[in-house]
Amino acid sequence: MKITWLGHSAFRIEIRQATILIDPFISQSPTGSALDFAEAIKDVTHIALTHGHSDHVGDTIRIAKTTGATVIANADLAGWLAHQGVEKVDPGNTGGTVFHDGFSVTFVNALHSSATLTEDGVSHSLGNPNGLVFHFNDDDEPVLYHMGDTDIFSDMALINELHIPEVALVPVGDRFTMGGAIAALACQRYFPQLKLAIPCHYGTFGLLDQTADDFVRGMEKTNTEVKVPEIGGSLVI
């Protein structure tokens, strides 16, 4: 598996059978200039979305129309995207699992919100926010958990019991999600078997914590490896 951080909460996941973008906020991101957009979306087969905020939906419509990728999202968001002209959508909802060539995605809880503001100033609900748990058909690929935008919550223990994730993509930027110290507590308390944690959702805007330092410090005495890639940086695991 190759994991590339595209800034904010956006990741590119490459496995043998598929290339998946998660929350592809790229071209409109303040950090997007650090990336080659064409390279970031090259050979993409799927897009998976945690929720409907613009800094997570990002370039989904453009990418889906360009590449023909299937968009995996909660039912409300998937319906809205279909109305915007996305041809291939695969809807799910909290607790449900969708299956694709080489992998499955389970929608789990996240504590956040999910809506979009249209040009007329009206806010439209786009379903519940989710974390996404990826199981891969190849036995040597780890279970990957993108927490989405969330605070710590005790039912993370159930997510761990049901899925036993080995790799977590963890929001640490504070204000709109848990901050670094709380994110470290979440990993320690509810996911003690994690092999790798990658922080995200920081440094993109001035309102967010600008570094992942609090998370890194909070994880120092754990058995979980923490990697903090540069934007566009990749890890092969």
CATH number of the domain that residue 70 is part of = 3.60.15.10
Number of independent structural domains in the chain: 1
The confidence score (pLDDT) of residue 20 equals 99
- Report how far apart, in Å, the C-alpha atoms of 185 and of each of 1, 37, 91, 216, 227 are: 27, 35, 32, 11, 17
Q: What is the 3-state secondary structure (H, E, C) of the chain?
A: CEEEECCCCCEEEECCCCEEEECCCCCCCCCHHHCCHHHHCCCCCEEECCCCCHHHHCCHHHHHHHHCCEEEEEHHHHHHHHHCCCCCEEEECCCCEEEECCEEEEEEECCCCCEEECCCCCEEECCCCEEEEEEECCCCCCCEEECCCCCCCCCHHHHHHHHCCCEEEEECECCCCCEHHHHHHHHHHHCCCCCEEEEECCCCCCCCCCCCHHHHHHCCCCCCEECCCCCCCEEEC
The confidence score (pLDDT) of residue 183 equals 99
The confidence score (pLDDT) of residue 24 equals 98
The confidence score (pLDDT) of residue 213 equals 98
Q: Are 87 and 69 in contact (CB under 8 A)?
A: no
Nearest to 135 by CA among 150, 146, 127, 120: 146
The confidence score (pLDDT) of residue 48 equals 99
The confidence score (pLDDT) of residue 196 equals 98
Nearest to 228 by CA among 205, 204, 196: 196
φ/ψ of residue 145, rounded to 5: -125, 110
Token pair of 132, please?
Answer: 């996404």
Burial 41-71 (b: 16+ CB within 10 A, else e): beebbbbbbbbbbebbbbbbeebbeebebbb
Rounded Cα distance between 230 and 218, Å, is: 20
Q: What is the pLDDT along the chain (237 residues), one digit of tens a residue?
A: 999 999 999 999 999 999 999 999 999 999 999 999 999 999 999 999 999 999 999 999 999 999 999 999 999 999 999 999 999 999 999 999 999 999 999 999 999 999 999 889 999 999 999 999 999 999 999 999 999 999 999 999 999 999 999 999 999 999 999 999 999 999 999 999 999 999 999 999 999 999 999 999 999 999 999 999 999 999 999
Q: Are 26 and 10 in contact (CB under 8 A)?
A: yes
Q: Are 143 and 171 in contact (CB under 8 A)?
A: no
**Could you list the residue range(s) of the whole structural domain that residue 87 is in?**
2-236
The confidence score (pLDDT) of residue 216 equals 98
Token pair of 64, please?
Answer: 């889906």
